[in-house]
Amino acid sequence: MIKPHGSTQLSPLFVDDDGKRAALIEEAKSLPSQLLSSAGAGNAVMLGAGYFNPLNGFMNRADALSVSEKMHTVDGLFWPTPVMSLVENNTASAGDRIALLDPNVEGNPAIAIMQVEAVEQMSEADMEQIAEQVYRTTDEEHPGVAELMEQGRTLLSGPIEVLNFSYFEIDFAETFQTAEEIRQEIEQAGWKKVVAFQTRNPMHLAHEELCRIAMQRVEADGCVIHMLLGKLKPGDIPADVRDAAIRKMAELYFPANTVKISGYGFDMLYAGPREAVLHAVFRQNMGATHFIIGRDHAGVGDYYGDFDAQSIFDEDVPEGALEIEIFRADHTAWSNKLNKVVMMREAPDHSKEDFVLLSGTKVREMLGNGIAPPAEFSRPEVAQILMDYYQSLS
């Protein structure tokens, strides 16, 4: 099986020994505490679940700025985005042992315990540098930049021990999995080549067919459809609806034992190219050998070029930094000429009118009015789930 990033063995930070974890949960009640931001809690979940292997906790200022500028830590570990705990109203000092509290669960239980190595202040210049280099903009209309700038300016860094997986393991008990759990299932299935598909949206027919195309071309044994379960921008479809729609598609339209549906607990960054690289890192950690990156991967608005998330792997990712291979996909759509879904670049004799193309706005309008998109765009069973959701809003 493919090695995890930066190490030979996966080292998740979740305390899986029940007795030790119970003792730490009890200890946390007596420790000084610090409320995390939603982004910080998401980072803790990803560290706990092994997706952020080989990191042992939250980055300090020097590492955060180095990763933003050069995509590696001060010690040289390749990493594409800062993994920070930016807080407000801090009372901790270096050397303290503190409980980190979860802002996304009622009662704010401890999600982790941190051994604080440094307490540093991030200047506005530091924050703008991170925004410019990671998101390629300081425009706070960008949802990822807005989320970054809304966080505190005190940076707590140090190793952590993770006590739970926030609301993800409760609200998405059938879908949320750790990187180690996915690795184990891949091994049990006997899959050697594994394609990963990232999604924060329900999957239309073109997405479904893209998974098939990738599996066929790399001769993969299986595909992990891996959905983000955390916070999105306003207007995006909630995770439980996406989950139901994707599961229905996989159940009805893929052969048994070829597709695995899973999810991870993290808030969307909308960081385009940098987030695409982060996605590749944690897909390697979960055992995928190939990762699909299509048009405007992890993008939002007009902040990134259509294929910047592919070109970054040629221009900024050092050779050998990652073992996972990238499957570069074009926009996929139904061809009326060929009566099948194709990647548009592979149909040079087509005009735009030869494809079934619907804007997101048009699709939402149809679904909200109880009108299913054409079968060339969406499976009817998937469309029904989405229609039910949109009509429940009115």
Spatial separation of the C-alpha atoms in residues 143 and 264, rounded to whole Å? 20
- 271 half-sphere exposure, CB direction, 13 A CA radius: 23
The backbone torsions φ and ψ at residue 69, rounded to the nearest 5 degrees and listed phi first, read -80, -45
Q: Which of 263, 257, 245, 274 is nearest to 169 (CA)?
A: 263
Q: Which residues are catalytic?
A: 200-201
Which amino acid would we find at residue 253? Y
DSSP letter (8 states) at residue 192? S
pLDDT at 61: 98
> How distant, in Å, are the alpha carbons of 189, 258, 326, 379 from that of 222?
9, 5, 16, 21
For residue 384, what are its two tokens?
């029904």
Q: Which fold has domain 175-392?
A: Rossmann fold (3.40.50)
Give the residue from 219, 240, 116 showing the smallest Cα distance to 175: 240
Determine the Cα–Cα distance for residues 216 and 210; give it in Å rounded to an integer: 10
Question: How many CB atoms are located within 10 Å of the residue 236 CB?
Answer: 14
Q: Centre a 10 Å sphere on the Cβ of residue 88 and count the other Cβ atoms it contains.
A: 12
- Write out residues in the chain with pLDDT < 50, as ranges: none
CA angle at 198 for the pair 193 and 199, rounded to the nearest 5° = 145
Q: How far apart are CA 273 and CA 250, in angstroms?
A: 28
Q: What is the pLDDT of residue 67?
A: 98
Question: For the chain, which residues make up each domain, given as ranges?
Answer: 18-169, 175-392
Q: How many other C-beta atoms are found inside a 10 Å radius of the C-beta of residue 365?
A: 13
The CATH number corresponding to 18-169 among 3.10.400.10, 2.60.40.10, 3.40.50.2300, 3.40.50.300 equals: 3.10.400.10
